Amino acid sequence: MDNSQIENTINEIRKRSGAVTAFNKDKISNAIFRALAATSKADRGLADQLADNVVNKLVEQGFTSSRTPTVEDIQDIVESTLIDSGNSDIAKAYIVYRHERRKLRDEKMKVLNLKALDPVSKKFDLNCLRVLASRYLFRNGKNEIIESPTQMFERVAILVGIGDLMYDAQVFDKSGNSKQDVEEAKSYLEKLDAFDYKFKVGDYFFNKWHFRSLINHYVTLANKGQMKVSFKELLTLLAAKKLDIYADKITEYFDLMVSQDFLPNSPTMMNAGGRLGQLSACFVLGMQDGMEEIMKSTSDAALIFKSGGGVGINYSDLREEGDIVASTSGVASGPVSFMNIINTVTEVVKQGGKRRGANMGIIEAWHPDVEKFITNKTEPGVLENFNVSVGVWEDFWHALVNTSDGNYVLRSPRDKKPVKEINAHQLIDLIALSAWKSAEPGLIFFDQINKYNVFAKARQAPLRATNPCGEQSLYPYESCNLGSINLVNLVKRQADGTYEFDWQRYEETIRKTTRFLDNIIDVNHYPVPEINVASKESRRIGLGVMGVADLLYKLRIPYNSKEGYELQSKLSETLTYYSMEESVALAKSRGEFPLCSKTEYPEGKIPVAGYYEKPKESHSYEWDALIEKIKQYGVRNVLTTTVAPTGTLSMIADCSNGMEPAFALVFEKRVTVGRFFYTNKIVEQVLKENNLYNDEILAKIADNYGSLKGIDEIPQWMQDVFVTAMDIHWADHLMAQGVWQDWIGNAIAKTINMPYDVTAEDVKSAYLLAHEIGLKGITVYRDGSRHKQVLHMTSENAEKTFDVMPSEHVTDYVTTQITNPYIKSQVNAALALKVHDEEIKSEPLQQEEVAEDRLCPTCKNNLVFVEGCSICIECGFSGCTSG
């Protein structure tokens, strides 16, 4: 009997779940091939031959189309076939492999509270699933998980698909000339339970919270005269399967997430298709100088925390401590006291029961309380739920870098009258010293944020606040939905085994995900009515990236090389160009954002620094043609790109964080039976290919700050390519942030890592260089300041045994591009090579106890500090809200 006849005889197999699926001999061959590979005999021909033998045996044992074998039957026969054919070593490898798979399956089912694994659980690795289980999967009143990862991604995709469905030509009229009975639609909000799982698109059923979003989306469009049909007619179209084409869109969004190519910010995955329904990560509130306004902002903040968001507030409009309050003849307590109120509210209101909210507290450099504000957080236990930043404008910068005396006037928020004069140099020194000690405050450059702010004209005010991690500037009551594309997934393997980046697939992914995030604005359940209005007026989205470091590893390009910077620049330009182009396409079909005509867009201005500041011949795309399209059709979203923190998202997508370099290539996890090492997957593969993978090498790397630098056994090319955050000079961290910032509309979440032996003067020089490069903000983290993460992430024995130098790219920039003599002298002094004698060079890191507030509130493991944000590498807890 030939093989085709045999295969035809066995048509199906019974899976562990009891489901029956088509029989496929290739799966047997692949399993045997993996066992062969484990014994260094990766022979595809032999695997196929042995698979044929397995199929013959199955038939001999009476399995036919009417007697279906189980997975276990087949695996038993694979074992006996391998032993009978004299391949006992391969049989052993297969048995071990089978045992490990069973153990892994059992562990996954336990983590997810499942009796059988769903398709996503089979595909995702255990760590990804642990993060999903701890933070994203719905639970019942007893805190038991009640949905599978597949169901989670489906509920998100269905909600996003509803966004598309409502713009179908059968129901949507862009001109706004249709009048419908909005009250009829709203009446359905009173009977949501009756419509739970009643309507569907294709095979995708709408639960009652999906149905609520459908109603609200309809009401918004009907109020603008854009619904051609009544709500009942819409439901009739759904029931008659007239809108089933949108099942394809839902599948597209589902596949984007399940393939780990793209993930939206955390609140979207937590709340889409659920009661809270709040999908945004970032919010900004105003804080005016009146008790009623202060209490309104406090109450709004509480509602945002409850719904899963984080809040940024600029407190500079509050009068300084000690100023007279006319209404009571009392004395003002100052902005820091009101920050304490918000801090307490954050503590009390858990986000959707899952975590505490995050805050950004900002005071501008001219405020009389700025010095108190700067030093406030150097004490432990103060404003623990806040990131704090000092906002600076042109006047402060001018006093700092262009005047001989550095005199700078602090003014009253009440009437802008001078209160006292200080020295700008002393103030920046105070900020630098505080950041050197405690990683805070950060600096926000409001002059840079507003340089190309096309929206200021419509709002008649500059941007003055950011979200908690600083990458998203917003006006009061605006929100932003973020999402990140996993760049390491977008590679093509060449015939010779090397990889190249797939630019075509990148463009397609940018277009799909821009649409995804635009839909989120429409189907979002906003926590406060004013946020609903402001968010839809600007339709701001923040499409970003993750996996940059892993992508560069795969392409064998050093992060901090000329080639590395050029690739990152093109990735950034491509992201904004295609997302803006897609936003124009959406404007053509759905309409521009409501305030578009009042902005500088009709004048041909765009919010992209690189367009103005990089020479035209270096641009990769036809920006002028895009600007002409915007002038003709408008644009759907006021801004489209942001590089946000992706701490938890990267764990789910199994890639490196944001555009950060890898934190450590190997780090230690101490378990009762001894040392256990986590290794970057790409580096692990390369070490194996070069016969370097063993416990001794892993221990050496872990004890070397998680770096390959200076380890004799590691070839130089590997040391150059596989760089970590601590291998890269702080000036190169700034430069990398700068090449992304050139083309990103909003801003970038990035930690500027500094070794423990830098001085406060170096921190100050980093500020000067950051502003010069055009960054919108900067967060420095000196290893050994208050977060002790590097020590605990790599190894308890970690020592710094190597110095890092700025790249030629940076030194060339400083030499050729910086013209201000003060900035140039300061930066040059900081970049000059510091000569260490051997004794200092190999000085071990300080051992200190980890403060309780540096432990994960969920699982009590150590928090690590990346992208300006604390995250837990065990359970995925994040101190930020976006990811």
Residue-by-residue DSSP string for 263-278: EE-HHHHHHTTSSS--
> How do residues 609-628 score in pLDDT, each as one tens digit?
999 999 999 999 999 999 99
Q: Indicate which residue of 154, 364, 471, 668 is catalytic.
A: 471
Residue 63 lies in a domain: yes
**Gap between the Cα atoms of 288 and 5, Å rounded:** 80
Cβ neighbours for 848, distance < 8 A, ≥ 6 positions apart: 788
DSSP run (H or E) holding 145 = none
- Helix 246-258 vs helix 149-165: crossing angle, to nearest 10: 140
Residue 209 lies in a domain: yes
Cβ neighbours for 632, distance < 8 A, ≥ 6 positions apart: none
pLDDT above 70 covers what percent of the chain?
Answer: 92
Among 444, 459, 474, where does a domain finish? 459
Residues 91 and 24 in one domain: yes
Residue 7 lies in a domain: yes
What is the rounded average pLDDT for all residues in the chain?
A: 90
Among 397, 425, 459, where does a domain finish? 459
Residue recorded with tokens 């997975």: 71
Q: Is the pLDDT of residue 523 over 50?
A: yes
* pLDDT, position 278: 96
Q: Indicate which residue of 467, 524, 680, 746 is catalytic.
A: 467
Q: Is the pLDDT of residue 838 over 80?
A: no
Overall number of domains in the chain: 4
DSSP run (H or E) holding 132 = helix 126-135
> How do residues 418-469 score in pLDDT, each as one tens digit?
999 999 999 999 999 999 998 899 999 999 999 999 999 999 999 999 999 9
* pLDDT, position 533: 97
* pLDDT, position 326: 67
Residues 421 and 311 in one domain: yes
**Gap between the Cα atoms of 517 and 544, Å rounded:** 11
Whether 79 is catalytic: no
Among 408, 443, 459, where does a domain finish? 459
Structure-token pair, residue 466: 């950011």
Residue 505 lies in a domain: no
Cβ neighbours for 785, distance < 8 A, ≥ 6 positions apart: 436, 437, 438, 439
Residue 537 lies in a domain: no
Residue 623 lies in a domain: no
Q: Give the CA distances from residue 801 to residues 408, 474, 700, 840, in Å, rounded to whole numbers and listed in that order.
A: 43, 43, 12, 9
Q: Is the pLDDT of residue 849 over 70?
A: no
Residue 677 lies in a domain: no
> How do residues 85-138 score in pLDDT, each as one tens digit?
888 888 888 888 888 889 999 999 999 999 999 999 999 999 999 999 999 999
Residue recorded with tokens 């000079």: 729
**Gap between the Cα atoms of 799 and 704, Å rounded:** 6
Residues 89 and 159 in one domain: no
* pLDDT, position 672: 64
> How do residues 570-602 score in pLDDT, each as one tens digit?
999 999 999 999 999 999 999 999 999 999 999
Residues 117 and 192 in one domain: no
> How do residues 319-373 score in pLDDT, each as one tens digit?
999 887 766 667 888 899 999 999 999 888 865 455 566 899 999 999 999 999 9
Whether 471 is catalytic: yes
Residues 156 and 53 in one domain: no
Instruction: Indicate the SS3 state at residue 330.
Output: strand
Which backbone phi and psi does 114 adopt, to 5 degrees?
Answer: -115, 150
Cβ neighbours for 622, distance < 8 A, ≥ 6 positions apart: none
Residues 64 and 160 in one domain: no
Domain that holds residue 57: 3-130
Whether 359 is catalytic: no
Q: Where residue 208 falls among pLDDT bands split at 50, 70, 90?
A: very high
Residues 202 and 68 in one domain: no
Residue 728 lies in a domain: yes
Residues 171 and 83 in one domain: no
Residue recorded with tokens 């020194």: 429
> How do residues 262-273 score in pLDDT, each as one tens digit?
999 999 999 999
Structure-token pair, residue 769: 């260089």
